[in-house]
Amino acid sequence: MTKIGHIELGDCPLIMAPMEDVTDMPFRSICKQFGAGLLVTEFISSEALIREAEKSSLKMRFGPEERPIGIQIFGESVENMRKAALIAESAQPDFIDLNFGCPVKKVVMKGGGAALLNDLPKMVRMTEAVVNAVKLPVTAKTRLGWDDANRNILEIAERLQDAGIRAITIHGRTRAQLYGGTADWTLIGKVKENPRMQIPVFGNGDITSAVIAKEMKDRYGVDGLMIGRAAVGNPWIFRECKAYIERGELLPPPSLSERIDILRLHLERSIEYKGEFYTLLEMRKFYSGYFKGVADFKKHRMRLMTADSMEELIGIIEEIKISAPPVP
């Protein structure tokens, strides 16, 4: 049984990776329906939370059906992270997650996310400040290190555990790799094997199918698997991974009709959450996933991307449903 503090997650939970402008409440709720055992919000700037920025407050919203769920925060200032953690705690999530892994330049240049990989003492002070401030369990997500010359995740994991975190998620890339190359799970496995580690170790990176998910679990013995980009427009990946890990059953991909039903549900929830204008903009990143493998999808893609009303968008989706041959 994998546990984060008092939170029981079963054996090898599947975790939806937090992704900016992707893992909002509508999409998280759908991933939950398909078997995601643990959810995390989009990352939220500690400075923006303290300023009470409207977008940051919106990111903290979640429904009861999403539990267990954590609010992820990032920032450069130890004191602001402490204050932000208290604000996040007031939203009553199940845990607080610290982002020490985001490689995006605009975050790193301000000293947040993966920038802390270059200052382990500060990362530890920040963690201790948050752990001591809140009553909820605190977790952390990070990377193997800054670059190939500094793959110090073994030390990072031990130091963060000593600082009080209750679980760690490790992305199998360095900051220098960004999202390129191949995730290296070798060091994730070594962290898990470390006899000093007493907290759950979750692995993340390049889990794109049920077969790969089970292989990573079996080979490296991690306590859970975090799935990120492969779930975008493909929330049923959680159902597929769960079936193969638990029962050895390889599920067939959903039919085009089922995919469109899921997409329409996603659209409806998104409109309710953020309105039609932002839904039309932000849903664009999901279409390639929902329609992956559909013959001649390219001729429809630009029309979906440029639709300027929900009525037009639904019309295009129904046209694809009628005209496209079955997904192989």
Assess whether 12 and 137 both reside in one domain. Answer: yes
Count how many domains the chain has. 2
Assess whether 65 and 32 both reside in one domain. Answer: yes
Please report whether residue 328 resides in a domain: no
Catalytic residue among 12, 31, 102, 241: 102
Residue with the two structure tokens 């705690």: 89
Window from 125-129, 156-160, 282-286, 293-297 with minimum mean pLDDT: 293-297
CATH assignment at residue 77: 3.20.20.70
320 CB contacts (<8 Å, ≥6 apart)? 256, 260, 291, 294, 297, 300
Assess whether 34 and 158 both reside in one domain. Answer: yes
Range of the domain at 211: 3-247
Q: What is the pLDDT of residues 138-187, one digit of tens each?
A: 999 999 999 999 999 999 999 999 999 999 999 999 999 999 999 999 99
Assess whether 183 and 289 both reside in one domain. Answer: no
Assess whether 232 and 311 both reside in one domain. Answer: no
Cα separation, 123 vs 119, whole angstroms: 6
Which stretch of DSSP H or E encloses residue 226? strand 224-227
Cα separation, 189 vs 208, whole angstroms: 19
Assess whether 45 and 89 both reside in one domain. Answer: yes
Assess whether 58 and 79 both reside in one domain. Answer: yes
Assess whether 51 and 111 both reside in one domain. Answer: yes
Is 102 annotated as catalytic? yes
Beta-bridge partner residues of 15: 38, 226
Assess whether 143 and 62 both reside in one domain. Answer: yes
Please report whether residue 121 resides in a domain: yes
Please report whether residue 220 resides in a domain: yes
Assess whether 292 and 177 both reside in one domain. Answer: no
**Domain end marker among 247, 281, 298:** 247
Cα separation, 312 vs 308, whole angstroms: 7
Assess whether 214 and 285 both reside in one domain. Answer: no
Q: What is the pLDDT of residues 65-122, one digit of tens each?
A: 999 999 999 999 999 999 999 999 999 999 999 999 999 999 999 999 999 999 999 9
